[in-house]
Amino acid sequence: MFPLPGKSKIEFGPVAANDDRNIDITHLRRESRQGLWSEGLRLVRDIFLIVVVFILFGVFFVQPVVVEGSSMVPELHDGERLLVNKLVYYKIQSISWGHIERGDIVVFWFPNDPDKSYVKRVIGLPGEMVELRNGKVIVNGQELDETYLDKEHNQSLPSMPPVRVLEHHYFVMGDNRDNSSDSRYWGLVPEKYIYGKAFFRYWKPSSIGFLEHGTYDHTVPPPPPANENDFRAGDDR
């Protein structure tokens, strides 16, 4: 009989990392600790960047404010929260958000006490003549069609002689003309005191949305040439 060929046996020696450069030896506990640490650092970095962006955004672009009082009823009510666009401070004329226009609701430091902030609507622009006739606002001889007013809050119908708005100043009024401390009583607002234009209400939930910008049916004509008597009533009071 012929002996059956036996199965060849292959002997394996010990395995070492040097046998193959592509073999990595991993210590799971050490790798997990390093992974958690690196992920934690990334999280802290991301949170820091988000905070920095929000701070820069608040300093240069948008600021929240709280309405106090009823001088802007019916558009604004006491306790509402607004977002104020601060781009107007940089006077960017190419976009409406970058400069002040008639009908804008602006927030400013009260000229007679800069520790206080007021919110009012812009009525008269620099160089214009503003007058009140039985509660009607006349700018450069043209009556403003103020659709944002509520008759319930405008029954006193006061009159005021023409006032020339100084350069770099604005004539402002509250929408609640019967209960508003504004340019009719204490004078004009210097441009440098205006720090933002209110554009969005984010509280209360029932009234969230963009604010109504004043629109007017008729174009206001250019102001008449200035004379010395125009500024007598227009000086800051």
Q: What is the pLDDT of residues 153-171, one digit of tens each?
A: 999 999 999 999 999 999 9
Domain positions in the chain are 23-58, 64-231
Which amino acid, one-letter code, is at 100?
A: I
- CA dist 142 and 235 (Å) reads 22
CA-closest candidate to residue 106, choices 162, 186, 188: 188
Question: What is the predicted pLDDT for the residue at 21?
Answer: 58
Active site residues: 71, 120
The confidence band for 22, taking pLDDT boundaries of 50, 70 and 90, is: low
Return the C-alpha torsion angle 148, 152, 153, 156, nearest 10.
120
Q: How confident is the model over 73-99, as a mean pLDDT?
A: 87
pTM above 0.95, yes or no: no
CA-closest candidate to residue 65, choices 116, 122, 123, 121: 116
Domain boundaries 64-231, CATH class: mainly beta
Question: What is the predicted pLDDT for the residue at 32?
Answer: 61
Q: How confident is the model over 116-120, as a mean pLDDT?
A: 96
Q: How confident is the model over 175-186, as a mean pLDDT?
A: 97
> HSE (CB half, 13 Å, CA atoms) of 95?
8
Q: Which two tokens stand for residue 73?
A: 């009823």
Is 70 exceeded by the pLDDT of residue 53?
no
Q: What is the pLDDT of residues 198-230, one digit of tens each?
A: 999 999 889 999 998 888 988 999 998 877 667
Question: What is the predicted pLDDT for the residue at 237?
Answer: 37
Mean of pLDDT over the chain = 84
- CA dist 41 and 55 (Å) reads 21
- Per the CB < 8 A criterion, the answer to whether 100 and 201 are in contact is no
